[in-house]
Amino acid sequence: MTYNNAMAKKGLDVPAEITGLCRAIRDAGHEAYLIGGCVRDLLLDREPKDWDITTNATPEQIQSLFEETFYENKFGTVGVVTKSENPRLKVVEITPYRVEGKYSNARHPDEVTFSTNLSDDLKRRDFTVNAIAYDPIEKELVDEHGGQDDLRRRVIAAVGDADERFQEDALRTLRAIRFSAELDFALDAKTAAAIAKDADRLGKISKERIRDEFVRILESDRPMQAMYVAQKLGILKYVIPQLEEAIGVEQNQAHSYDVFEHLLRSLQHAADKKWPLEVRLAALLHDIGKPASRRWSDEKKDWTFHGHEVIGARMAEKILHDLRMPNETIKTVVALIRWHMFFSDPDKVTLSAVRRIITNVGVEHINDLLNLRICDRIGTGRPKEQPFRLRKYMSMVDEAMRDPVTVSMLKIDGKKVMDLGEKPGPRIGWTLHALLEEVLDDPSRNTEEYLERRAGELLKVSEEELKALGEQGKDRREKEDEAEVQKLRDKHHVN
């Protein structure tokens, strides 16, 4: 893994486009090095995500060398558009050497200062493994902070004094955990101690920056370990404080772990299966409502958590909103959590109940919901991943999907409703949803004849009534949720 003589002769495996860019910069009399993640990944035999070049040329000099460039940020980075087919090479970022600016708020440097000296630029980088430069023309590495040693030791260590570096930019504390999760590296002891010392400074960092690193942790192969470490070092409370409430919350007999460990194990299973971000987030948060809804049952002689999925869905919505997650992601994760307790006994459940679950989470996420159930089961510490009953339920889902579960699956559409005399406007949607409710109850109603007759009758229904019919599914769910929350409040003697 360390760059040795044999590798030096052959050089690292750099695409011709990148070497070409470096050559052009050098031919104009400047220096050009690959830097950061791409050098680290090449040395680890991993495929680099993107290619970054650093140089002593100014942004203006860089721009003058290439046909198509853009320069629109305050860090001096110039994007060079190449003619490459490879999406990772289409735009290559070239950044002048920089020195660490003065940070007055642990957030952003107050100013960006360029330098003519590569060493300055290496010094301002976060971790030793990210501070190795490589010249693809001379096939030479510049490693002034022991980056290769740390690659060999598989350790994330700050460049220079860890405490100072985290005080400059507290996001680095979370980045350290992110890189250790992605690369399966340990945290260097001094670096870990400095993270614990400076964790509170993360409170000043923008949620958007925290979100980006947190998402990378979740998308790594080892999110469980990373979340444990984040908690131990005092960082978790600046990412999802509500998760700390789950620590030590004992569960019922069916579980081997407390709520916190159960959630992390569920998340890890989603990662082991390479399931998408939404499933990972839902796995991590699906029982977040348990601490607030836990009650002791004298009758059962055990803990109960009635309504935790309703409370949990609401909490998750706030958590994800606070983290500035995209609305589409929030919507999906909240629905998965809201419905994760779906009744799945294939011997007792009706097809119409299965159809309603599909309507509730959406056709495109029913698989995610089943996968979430698998994560949940594995997270309890029970060995069987996909018991016979869940497989049987899956085949019921397939069967249920043959009947309409969405408006677009009805044998009538908005155009037809208009042909029958309805004027354009919200009444069309309400009519279709009212018809879907009827068909969910009884799929044999999904015929042109029945639906056109009913649509004709609905033409005469008042605006108010039609809206109520169209939104009855939504209203019913909201009423049920409100009732659950109220029950919990009553039990809790709060209002």
- In 336-428, which ranges are E strands? none
Please write down the long-range contacts of 406-413, taking CB distance under 8 Å and 24 or more positions apart. 406/359, 406/363, 406/436, 407/432, 407/433, 407/435, 407/436, 409/446, 410/435, 410/436, 410/439, 410/446, 410/451, 411/446, 411/447, 411/448, 411/451, 412/448, 412/451, 412/452, 412/455
Rounded CA separation 404/437 (Å): 10
Diameter of the chain measured on Cα atoms? 85
CB 122 within 8 A of CB 115: no
Q: How far is the CB of 35 from ligand ATP (least distance, A)?
A: 7
Q: How far is the CB of 315 from ligand ATP (least distance, A)?
A: 30
CB 48 within 8 A of CB 41: yes
Q: Which stretch binds Mg ion (CB under 5 A): 36-44, 205-213, 390-398, 414-422?
A: 36-44
Q: Which stretch binds ligand ATP (CB under 6 A): 6-14, 126-134, 349-357, 444-452?
A: 126-134
Query: According to the binding rule CB under 6 A, does residue 9 interact with ligand ATP?
Result: no
Query: According to the binding rule CB under 6 A, does residue 50 interact with ligand ATP?
Result: yes
Give the count of alpha carbons within 13 A of 6, CB side only: 2
Rounded CA separation 387/398 (Å): 17
Closer residue to Mg ion (CB): 50 or 471:
50
Q: Which stretch binds ligand ATP (CB under 6 A): 24-32, 122-130, 402-410, 445-453?
A: 122-130
Q: How far is the CB of 52 from ligand ATP (least distance, A)?
A: 6
Which residues make Cβ contacts (< 8 Å) with residue 324, sequence separation at least 6?
207, 208, 211
> Which two structure tokens, joined as six digits, stand for 214?
């947190």
Rounded CA separation 437/458 (Å): 13
Query: According to the binding rule CB under 6 A, does residue 317 interact with ligand ATP?
Result: no
- Comparing every residue's Cβ against ligand ATP, the nearest one is 37
Rounded CA separation 448/347 (Å): 32
Rounded CA separation 446/440 (Å): 9
Query: According to the binding rule CB under 5 A, does residue 37 interact with Mg ion?
Result: yes
Window 27-46: contact mask with ligand ATP (x via CB under 6 A)? ---------xx---------
Closer residue to Mg ion (CB): 50 or 245:
50
Q: How far is the CB of 107 from ligand ATP (least distance, A)?
A: 10
Q: Which stretch binds ligand ATP (CB under 6 A): 125-133, 303-311, 324-332, 422-430?
A: 125-133
From the list ligand ATP, Mg ion, none, partner contacted by residue 337 (C-beta under 5 to 8 A by kind):
none
Q: How far is the CB of 469 from ligand ATP (least distance, A)?
A: 51
From the list Mg ion, ligand ATP, none, partner contacted by residue 171 (C-beta under 5 to 8 A by kind):
ligand ATP
Window 165-194: contact mask with ligand ATP (x via CB under 6 A)? ----x-xx----------------------
Query: According to the binding rule CB under 6 A, does residue 123 interact with ligand ATP?
Result: no
| Chain centroid to CA 390 | 26
Q: Which stretch binds Mg ion (CB under 5 A): 34-42, 114-122, 406-414, 416-424?
A: 34-42
Closer residue to ligand ATP (CB): 43 or 434:
43
Closer residue to Mg ion (CB): 37 or 289:
37
> Which two structure tokens, joined as six digits, stand for 409?
């699956």
Neighbours of 456 (CB within 10 A): 13
Rounded CA separation 385/13 (Å): 41
Q: How far is the CB of 278 from Mg ion (least distance, A)?
A: 24
Binding region for ligand ATP (CB under 6 A)? 36-37, 49-50, 52, 125-126, 130-131, 169, 171-172
Binding region for Mg ion (CB under 5 A)? 37, 50
